[in-house]
């Protein structure tokens, strides 16, 4: 008999539990819902706490996130939450383990499993994401802790002569190996090849690099036997670099992004959960809304996996002290979640942001 704590395929000594993977993937991109990325590393989260005047500590990180996860009604807009290793082992204020608290509200706990982007040997200004060593064992433990999906982020920088073929190839290979190992352990992999917004490149260059990166990633996934219907993609949108003098309209961002994905993403993928990548809160919502408002039927669900674009105002509100600040933080988070829920069906408008 399979144990709740053991991936079914591992317990039975069989191949992938495709039914489990596909069901979880579909639930993560159910209509009106998306993923909250709350997987900031301890260092990153501590820096964000310091930036709003809060002394960083394990307890401060726990308290902020526990308050966020206790928000009333946000499960109508959030299907999954990506956690960091520290957070998946922590508890809510009432002592309930955070994964259990999320699951009780119909929200899938997820986990960040990469160990960060490191310098790519012999390639200046380029990174490769590490963390494959021991990944199988970590995934087994995370499944037992309640995780049902995972995330691995690769970063691709555009610049003079980059990205190199080596950078794209190394990251695509790592993403595919990660995805295959996760699926073996019953976890839906979110595959995140992020083309960064930093740089002076225009939107067309972003389109080209994103296309190349997606082609390489899915070619490696095919080679590694990744089950695409039991996976999700977390890509950047097609946007000009922050330093580019020519910025395109929201409508053009939406169109170029959909064109790129339609041409370079397998159509049997259940869903795409966009990263915000440094966009403003409203831009991230507006772009998603425009894509879902198009008079065409997309082959996949178009959803979100936002971090700062869901949390930035909530964190600033929480930086005070006392119940009033906790409630204000939850209201800010609830509002952004509601806005992105509306964007899932193309029903968001700027007037609703007042």
**What is the domain partition of the chain in residue ranges?**
20-346
Q: Say what the pTM is.
A: 0.94
What three-state secondary structure class fits 159? strand
Low-confidence ranges of the chain (pLDDT < 70): 1-14, 321-323
DSSP string computed for 245-305: S-PPPHHHHHHHHHHHHHHHS-TT--EEEE--TT--HHHHHHHHHHHHHSSS--SSEEEEE
> Among residues 112, 127, 151, 234, which one is catalytic?
234
11 in active site: no
The pLDDT of residue 191: 98
> Among residues 27, 192, 194, 313, which one is catalytic?
192
The pLDDT of residue 177: 98
- What pLDDT, in 10s, does the model give residues 54-100? 999 999 999 999 999 999 999 999 999 999 999 999 999 999 999 99
Distance CA 240, CA 238 (A): 7
198 in active site: no
20-346 to CATH, choices 3.50.50.60, 3.40.640.10, 3.40.50.2000, 3.20.20.70: 3.20.20.70
């Amino acid at each position: 008999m399979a144990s709740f704590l053991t991936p079914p395929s591992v317990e039975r000594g069989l191949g992938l539990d495709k039914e489990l993977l596909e069901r979880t993937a579909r639930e993560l991109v159910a209509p009106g819902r998306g993923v909250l990325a709350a997987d900031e590393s301890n260092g990153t989260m501590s820096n964000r706490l310091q930036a709003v005047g809060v002394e960083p500590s394990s307890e401060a990180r726990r308290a902020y996130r526990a308050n966020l996860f206790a928000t009333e009604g946000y499960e109508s807009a959030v299907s999954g939450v990506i956690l960091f290793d520290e957070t998946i082992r922590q508890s809510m204020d009432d002592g309930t383990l955070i994964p259990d608290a999320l699951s009780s509200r119909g929200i899938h706990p997820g986990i960040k499993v990469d160990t960060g982007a490191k310098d790519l040997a012999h390639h200046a200004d380029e990174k490769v994401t590490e963390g494959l060593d021991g990944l199988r064992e970590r995934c087994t433990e995370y499944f037992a802790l309640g995780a049902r999906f995972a995330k691995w982020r690769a970063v691709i920088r555009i610049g003079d002569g980059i990205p190199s073929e080596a950078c794209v190839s190394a990251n695509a290979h790592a993403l595919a190996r990660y995805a295959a190992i996760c699926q073996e352990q019953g976890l839906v992999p979110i595959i995140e090849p992020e083309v960064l917004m930093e740089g002076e490149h225009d939107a067309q260059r972003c389109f080209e690099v994103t296309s190349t990166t997606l082609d390489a990633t899915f070619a490696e996934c095919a080679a590694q036997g990744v089950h695409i219907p039991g996976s999700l993609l977390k890509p950047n949108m097609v946007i000009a670099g922050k330093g580019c003098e020519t910025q395109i309209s929201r409508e053009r961002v939406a169109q170029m992004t959909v064109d790129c994905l339609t041409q370079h993403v397998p159509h049997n993928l259940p869903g795409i959960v966009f990263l915000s990548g440094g966009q403003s809160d409203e831009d991230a919502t507006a772009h998603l809304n425009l894509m879902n408002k198009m008079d065409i039927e997309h082959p996949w669900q178009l959803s979100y996996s936002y971090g700062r674009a869901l949390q930035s105002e909530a964190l600033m509100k929480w930086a005070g002290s006392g119940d009033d600040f906790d409630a204000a933080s939850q209201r800010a988070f609830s509002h952004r979640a509601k806005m992105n829920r509306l964007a899932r069906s193309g029903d968001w408008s700027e007037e609703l942001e007042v």
